[in-house]
Every structure is written in structure tokens, then in C-alpha cells.
Amino acid sequence: MDVYVRPGVSFWYLSQVFSVPLRLIIDSNRDINPQYLSIGQRIRVPGYVTANYEIKPGDSLWSIARRNNLAVDTLYLVNPNLNPNRLQIGQSIRVPRRVTWRFVNGKQEYDYNTMMNDLWTLSSVYPFMQMSMIGDSVLGLDIPEVLIGLGSKRVHYNASFHANEWITTPVLMRFLNDYLLSLTNQNSMRGLSTLPLYLQAMLSVVPMVNPDGVNLVINGAPESRREQLVEWNNGSSDFSNWKANINGVDLNDQYPANWDLERERNPKNPGPRDYGGEAPLTQPEAIAMANLTRRRDFSRVLAFHTQGEVIYWGYQNMEPPEAEVIVKEFARVSGYEPVQTLESYAGYKDWFIQDWRRPGYTVELGTGQNPLPLSQFDEIYEETLGIFLAGLYM
């Protein structure tokens, strides 16, 4: 929500009058020096939207503010040219409204456009959330990364490496939405105050690593690729079991961590699953994730997949001792089973552990056959919420 500077207004004052943490005001206005505000300057206040209100007989700014549980000054801040002595019946003014509801509806077929619409909405309402594009898919779709928090602990979550595991994206998006709500409304999540998490951790999220694949599973084959994809899919136009990207390459078999050993036991041609390509890091989505990981220098990474209610950790005994401590907490808060993997090759978490010697995890959500039904969504979210939070506080 945009407000406009009046005499006596500071970032601190805005944080008090709107009951939003000062740090979130500062981080929502990174291009503004809070020591040099000018009258009429536009400031962004996170966690609010405005609604149009038409003046009725007997209305005053005081009565309007009282009905909406607001300080009168908030009306002046969003209506810079408002004259309280010249209110006219039928006149339209803007009234701040604190956001207490979710924008993300995860219980639907959640394709790329749905995700992008939700991300643009969240970045508008919560401008302290940063969003940038880390690369493109084979078909040229932008792959977004979201950043929340500026702390020294750099934590990364990703979802939908595999196309038919797309339910991981709306589960992760619901967490993003709930985390943002908790920060601006200063509500706890699972008994945890979230502002300290924001201050100590920088959370990086790539909610859909494989957008072309997700669109293929949900919406069917694009006409330009249809003939080739049907051939790779054993003659079927039903792509519900497709894991790979649009080139028929399994993106989680694309990383240089004993890639050749993984290739030996997997298919040698493009198809719905398990083909690791002709060499590691040849697919644009895998390259984008690798470049991001190198640039951010993450403290730990969690890749969310389906299914099995297990948490795979470790790679060739290269993980640090703290990895086991962390995974035991993940298991405690979720009920998922921790499984140390020794012969897992070419995956994103394998490569991360190998090259950084830091904790990496593959979290398998839910149970059943992929793609998991949306009827499991709420249960999966409640199980996974503890892991999302523990990844920040551990």
C-alpha cells in the first residue's frame, strides 16, 4: 500500500500507526533514505491494501477510522489531498485495510501462470519480499526466485524439479504466503515468533524449477512439441506421469555428483523419467539452479519432492555432523522418516553436499502415486510446515 509523507512522518511513525515492524518498512523501501524524507514522497507499507469508500450522510473521518479500527491519520496518509472540512456525500476516498487473508489458493491445479500471478500479488502487497529471475526454461519461461529476510543464515527451498510432483509448488507457496502474513501481522506460526527468523535468515525459494514440465502435466502438450512428446511418452497423450522437463531430461539427474554412475543404470534416451541427458548441467533449468546455488553460497538446501513421507539426507558421507542433528528435528516436527542415502547420485542435494560439505535434504511429501491428489494438500501442508520453519530456526 502506498502512503504519502506528511509533516512529522518517519518510518518509525509509520511502523507505529500501522502496527508493522520497522524493519519491514525499511526493507520495503530499499531505494529510500529514511533520514531524508520529503513532503508528498511515496512510501510503501507492507501488509495493507486500500479499499474505495463512498462518503455517506453523517460520515466524518473520525467515524470512518473508528469503524475500520484505524487511526485517523492513516486516512490522511493514503489520501494526500483530503480536506476533512470539505467532505461531500458521494465522494470516494481510500481506506487502508490490513491483510489478514491468504492470496494463494493452493488447492487447485497449480500451473506456471497461477504461480506467477500469485507471486506478483505477494510482491506487491509485501514489497520487502524480493523477486528476480534466475534463468529460463527450455520454452523460455522465466524461473523466479523469491528472497525474504537479510540474515546471515542463507537457506534455500525449491519445488517441482519433477513435473508430476507439482503439488510441492502450491504447498511451498502457501508457506510463503503464511510466513508473510505472520511477519506483517506479528502472529506466531506453530508458537514461533517469525520476526527473529526474518532477522537471522535469508530465505531463498524457487517454487517451480520445471515450469514447462508442470504445464505439460497439467495442461497437456504444446502444439509445437506435441508429436515428439507423444513419441517419447510411448505413444500416449496422457502426460500425468511425466517427471522430466520438456526435453525429456530428468532435471534431478543433471548434477555432477557421480553423474556417470547414475547414467549407467538409467535410460539412455529422452522420455518421461530418469534420463539424465548426454552430460551433466546441459538443461537450462538445471544450469539456472546451479548458478543460483554458486552465487548465493547457501548454508543448507531443501528440495521438496513427492512421495513417501521420508527425508533423504547425506551423500557419500560427505555431509557435516550437523546434518544429522537438523534432520532429526525435521523428523520430529513432521513425523517423516529420516533416511541417510549413500548410493544416491546426480541429484541436486547430492551435488550440493559434495561441493559445499553442508547439509542438503530431499523431502518426499505425502504418500501414494504421483501426481498426488489435491485431497492430500491440507494434510501435507500441516506435516511440512514444521520442516519449513525448522529449516529457518535450526
Q: Which residues are marked as active site?
A: 364
Return the closest-CA partner of residue 2 out of 19, 22, 18, 16: 18
Joined grid coordinates for residue 326? 537438523
What are 49-52's contacts with CB under 8 Å, separation 24+?
49/1, 49/96, 49/97, 49/99, 49/125, 50/1, 50/78, 50/94, 50/95, 50/96, 50/97, 51/94, 51/95, 51/97, 52/92, 52/93, 52/94, 52/95
Phi/psi at 303 (5° precision): -105, 125
- DSSP calls for 274-337: ----SSTT-SHHHHHHHHHHHHHT-SEEEEEEESSSEEEE-STT-S-THHHHHHHHHHHHH-PE
Separation between Cα atoms, residue 158 and residue 155, nearest integer Å:
10
Joined grid coordinates for residue 205? 525459494
Distances in Å between the alpha carbon of 261 and those of 43, 339, 352? 55, 21, 17
Burial class of residue 29 in the structure, from the number of CB atoms within 10 Å of its CB (0-12 exposed, 13-18 middle, 19+ buried) = buried
Separation between Cα atoms, residue 55 and residue 60, nearest integer Å:
8
Are the C-beta atoms of residues 314 and 341 closer than 8 Å to each other?
Answer: yes
Separation between Cα atoms, residue 364 and residue 342, nearest integer Å:
17
